[in-house]
Structure 1
Amino acid sequence: MEKIKEKLNQLRGEADAAVTRAEDAEGKNKKYEQQILEKDQEITSLTHKVGVLEAELDKAEAKLADAKAAQEEGEHSKSTNDNLTRKIQLLEEELDAAEKNVKETMEKLRQVDVKAEHFERQVQRVEQERDQWEKKYEEMQAKYKESKAELDELVHSMEGL
């Protein structure tokens, strides 16, 4: 009787430990899902920034093309030529800055994509662990029920004595 009680207590302890581990795994899973959501939002933000920068790049290229066309057509006076040259230099600098910014943004986007893949793999691994813990929990639950039934049967047979 004492051994059965000890075994029952041991099984209860194991079941409680399994439940605790399962809850911990679920907590980690939620944390990873939140991190993935944040990374998705960051990707969306960076994608939007890339779009804005590409639009600015197109505008800058259009301005540059317009300025060059104006320079070819309008060599009417030296002051106009000097002004256009300054505008072209500024536009080229803006273009260089925009291109650099686009490259940096694309690199950040790539890094975020790599991190997102890493977190997806982690989530898959955590989900697999969770599934394993759930299976172990179900097995322990079955063992617990079986042990409890045996204990109840033993108690019933002892009452008959």
Structure 2
Amino acid sequence: MEKVRERISSLRAEVEAAQTKSEEYEVESKRLAQEQLGLEHEIVSLTNKNRNLEVELNETLEKMKALKGLEEDDDLLKKEKETAQRKINLLEQELENSDKSLRETTKNFREADVKAEHFERKMQQLENIIVNQERKNEELKLKNQELQVLLDEFNAGLDDF
């Protein structure tokens, strides 16, 4: 009887540990979902910034074409061309940086997505373990009740002697 109680206590401890782990995984899953949402927002933001930079780059390129047509005023043309070229270089550099950042963010998003899937699988495994443990716990309760009935019958039989 004592062994049964110890086993039940042990199973209860295991169930509690599994529930604790499940809760931890749920919290981690929520955190990763939040992180994923943040990364998605960052991707959208970087995409919009990239689009705006491309528009600004196209506008700057159009200005540069217009400046090439004004070769009469050579000094002014050279200054404006240099200014435009610097701006283009800066914009191209910003565009490259934005593209690099977008690639890194996409990579991080994919990694976060893989981690989220991993934790979802872990969470499902833990939920399966919990269900199995609960089922085993119910079976043990039924066996305990049956053993209690047998013990009571045995004690009653001993009292009759």
Could you tell me the TM-score, scaled by structure 2's length?
0.91
Cα distance in 2, alignment partners of residues 13 and 145 from structure 1: 16
Deviates more, 1:127-136 or 1:39-48: 127-136
* Distance in 2 (alpha carbons) for counterparts of 1:148 and 1:9: 12
> What is the CA distance between 1:157 and its match in structure 2?
3.0
Match of 2:86 in 1: 86
1:118 is aligned to 118
Task: In structure 1, list runs of 5 or more residues that go unmatched.
Answer: 1-7
SS in 2 for 1:68: helix
Aligned residue identity for 2:99: E
Q: Distance in 1 between matches of 2:92 and 2:144?
A: 76
Counterpart of 2:82 in structure 1: which amino acid? D
Pick from 63, 79, 88: which aligns with 1:70? 63
Deviation (angstroms), 1:74:
2.6
What is aligned with 1:143?
A: 143
Q: 1:138 offset after TM fit, Å?
A: 0.9
CA distance in 2, matches of 1:21, 1:126: 12
2:22 aligned with 1:26: no
Deviations 1:77-134 (A, max 9, x none): 2211111111100000000000000000000000011111111111111111111111
Q: Which AA in structure 2 matches 1:122?
A: K
Taking only the aligned residue pairs, the percentage that are identical comes to 30
Once residues 146 and 17 of structure 1 are traced to their aligned partners in structure 2, the CA distance between those partners, rounded to angstroms, is 20
State how far apart, in whole Å, the 1-side matches of 2:3 and 2:91 are.
76
Q: Equivalent residue of 2:99, what SS?
A: helix
Alignment root-mean-square deviation, CA: 1.1
1:55 is matched with: 48
The normalised TM-score by structure 1 is: 0.91
